[in-house]
Structure 1
Amino acid sequence: MNLTELNFIVFLSNYVIPENTPVLYTRSKLECAAITNYTHHQSFFYHRKTRVCITLPYTIYSTQNLVNHDGFQYSVKEAPICGPVPTFDLAVFNSVTVETSGIYRANYICPSAYFTTNTEPFSYCETSTQSWTPLQLNCSVVSSCGDIQKCNPSYVDGEYWLYPDIYNNSRVKIYCHGLSSSQPSEYITLPKINVASYPEGEYTSSCSISTFGDRWGETNFNKIRINIKTTEVTTDDYTFTTQVNGIHQPFGHAEACSNIASYDTCPKQGYALVDVTETGFKFNPLTNWKLGGWQSLCDIIELSNVRFVGQGDGYCGGCFPDGAIKLDRDLTAIPALSTAVIPQCGTSS
């Protein structure tokens, strides 16, 4: 009996599979092949000098998980004439299948947190040229909640790790809302209290308040909407808010209409607390607050890279964001990986 009769061919040279694999010691490569055949295994590694024999119940088509090691040869019962399957950037080898025509097909998937809309991520073994065809697989990183839909349509609203382009594809924790709709949107969950308060009334003598106006209200924000392409907070989105009283108040605004200019010894009525602590975000250095409105006053009580506390008032006016509130990644306070889902995408949408 010889190797040809056992139908084994040399597929790889100078490679060995990872550690912790059971090994045998045989007198020859022929004996190693015979053991492989007898045990109904599909392939084996053999080292001519050490006579180490490693049999496997499957065929290794890719070198991705192998370690270079001189002296080992890898032989298989059946293998594509083109040799080991090729490696491609941003593509993970998945399996090899043999089509009814006898053509070998290498199947690929995108890595974790990447998705593709390509329904044929294959490379074929061309027997005429004995080479693999180019792979038509475009893997895109999951950078928005819309991408989460494409990545895995079974995902439901919740916390996910996204990898937006504007953050150099670094991970950020985002709450995806509306994944069952045609336009899902991105939110940041706020672990700390966030308030925008516009008290009712205006001052009279002795800093007493008389009922006045219809713009008053107090809003607590549980999540804030973020434009994942511009990093800007949508201050007038109230999807995830608790209304304490009155009407909705914009995020980060401390306004009132108490005619404080005529009663400058009275306390300012409007109040805003913005706190993005523990979200993994911080204020962009250009984010600031200013006074706005008529006869306005604005006291910035606290301003750090994660907190703003302000009191404002006027007739009517107070403290307003000076342009958009933009958020950068806070590398000192990245949430634990277990607090959000790492997207696991299929081969296609």
Structure 2
Amino acid sequence: MTIWSGNSSDLMRCGVECAKEQYCVSLLYDKTTGSCKLFSVVFDSDESGNIDYWILNQESTRWESCQELASCSGITTDGEYWIYPTAINGRRTKIYCHNLASTPLHYVTLKYPNRFIQHDKLNLINGLECLSDFKGPLNSLDFSKVRIQIENMEVIGSDYTFASLNGSPYIQYGQALDCNGQALRHPCPHFGNATINVRETGLALDPTMVFGLVMGYSAEIRDFIRSDDGTKISFSCAGWCAKCGPTTGPIRFQRSKEFSMFLVFVKSFLFRC
């Protein structure tokens, strides 16, 4: 809800400016300068439902990348920052800036499990297809953060800086691999599966991306599900062997339609290049 304050014939003009800001909740017209001061608020909710609010300084510098943040402000502390990538029309996005003191890299902090499983021939029993059991544990990847190329919001799936590796998987973020048996054989259990989940990051998956069979013999992608809001994709992979994942190029993020962006911390800086 927008709260109007002040008393001026130009209040309507300020109201129009406030309406253009996604998180603007109030404004104040300055008669002396004839200017509008807008107040934007974002909030963070914890597991107990408690809500904390942060007022964002509208005049704070809008950095387009972590490199720009570091070079313009002199900040060298890794952490979560508001970045305004040109690839999503300069919309405010929470990005984890890594290696700010040297070569800044961009990551998205994931709120929910993002897991990718590789069942290869090392997991087979006596090298036979379609057994109901397998030699564990399976090779897997669990990502807490995923690296992106800020210029185009493409995922760099082979970066495992913030991934927990079980075994020696050679798949990437967004892929699954299965070698338990040919897809046409029934019954034949398959163990390779993938879960991509960017809910509550302020981002969604590009809806034009196509997922399917990347490589494999007698193979196919199965149980493919894409959430209506575009924040989650899951699927399984079946083959002898089969690798499944995006077939139209790297995974790409775009701005989601979620209203709330969950914030670890927000800082307003007045640095300029």
TM-score by length of 2: 0.70
Report what 2:251 is aligned to.
325
After superposition, where does 1:169-248 map in structure 2 within 5 Å? 169-181=90-102, 183-200=103-120, 201-202=123-124, 204=128, 207-208=131-132, 217-248=139-170
Of the three residues 220, 230, 248, the one matched with 1:297 is 220
Q: 2:187 aligns with which of 238, 246, 265?
A: 265
Q: Secondary structure at the match of 1:67?
A: coil
RMSD: 2.9
State the distance in 1 between where 2:111 and 2:60 align.
25
Report the CA distance between 1:235 and its aligned residue: 1.1
Partner SS, residue 315 of structure 1: coil
Partners of 1:149 and 1:68 in 2: how far apart? 33
Residue 68 of structure 1, CA deviation? 7.3
Q: 1:188 to 1:219 in 2, by over 3 A?
A: same
Residue 183 of structure 2 corresponds to residue 254 of structure 1? no
C-alpha contact (below 8 Å) 2:178/2:243 kept by paired residues: yes
User: Unpaired runs of 5+ in structure 2?
Assistant: 1-5, 8-28, 36-57
Larger radius of gyration: 1
- Conservation of the 8 A alpha-carbon contact between 1:151 and 1:343: no
Query: What one-letter code is carried by the residue in structure 2 that aligns with 1:330?
Result: S
Q: Is residue 74 of structure 2 the alignment partner of residue 157 of structure 1?
A: no
Relative to the length of structure 1, the TM-score reads: 0.56
- Residue 258 of structure 2 corresponds to residue 335 of structure 1: no
**Identity percentage over the alignment?**
27
> Residues of 2 paired with 1:185 and 1:205: CA distance?
43
Q: Give the 3 Å change call, closer, same or farther, for CA 347–283 of structure 1 in structure 2.
A: closer
Partner of 1:145: 66
Distance in 2 of aligned mates of 1:177 and 1:227: 13
Deviation readout 1:123-156 (Å, 9 max, x if unpaired)? xxxxxxxxxxxxxxxxxx4010001102321341
- Counterpart residue identity of residue 223, structure 1: K
- How many aligned residue pairs are there? 216
Q: Which moved more, 1:308-317 or 1:184-193?
A: 308-317
Alpha-carbon separation, structure 2, partners of 1:68 and 1:275: 47
Mark the runs of 5 or more structure 1 residues left unpaired by the alignment. 1-17, 20-63, 70-86, 88-110, 115-140
Change in Cα spacing, 1:343 to 1:187, as seen in structure 2 (3 Å) is farther
**Aligned residue runs from structure 1 range 59-138, under 5 A:** 66-67=31-32, 112-114=59-61
> CA–CA distance in 2 between the matches of 1:347 and 1:205?
62
* Partner SS, residue 142 of structure 2: strand
